[in-house]
Copies of this chain bind each other. A is one copy, B any other.
Amino acid sequence: MYQNFTKLRVRYAETDQMGIAYYGAYNQYFEVGRVEALRSLNMSYRQMEEEGIMLPVRKVEIEYLKGAKYDDLLTIISRIEVFPTVRISFSHEIYNPEGELLTLGKVDLVFVSKKNRRPCKPPAEFIEKISPFFKSE
């Protein structure tokens, strides 16, 4: 398993008149979590896309337990629990500064070639960098 922690502060723009972060904002939080999880592997999603591989989302499941408040410094945990193939799945948990679990999210994405917009294998570099985390014990 591979796991990463990211911090992110709730913006005023992301609140709604219920006084908490809008339920759609969490998709951005998960996106930031994923991108930073890759970066901490020394992988750049931007570079991957520039080199011809995109990662569109195929499926999202989110459970909302408690609202995130404006200016809260959230902790986003992002986990890759299954070794990625054409498909990659991230499990996310979001905590507020009090340590309360606010949100659970599971996001499935597919590696897609920019050229023909068809599913493709992950970049060799990514497989190389993620493999050590999935060594059998």
Contact = CB atoms under 8 A, between A and B. Distances in A.
A61 interface: yes
A15 to B, nearest CB: 4
Nearest to A30: B24
Interface residues of A, number: 37
How many monomers of this chain does the complex have?
Answer: 4
A82 to B, nearest CB: 19
A22 interface: yes
Nearest to A44: B71
Interface in A50-80: 54, 56-64, 67, 69-71
A106 to B, nearest CB: 9
A24 B35 CA distance: 15
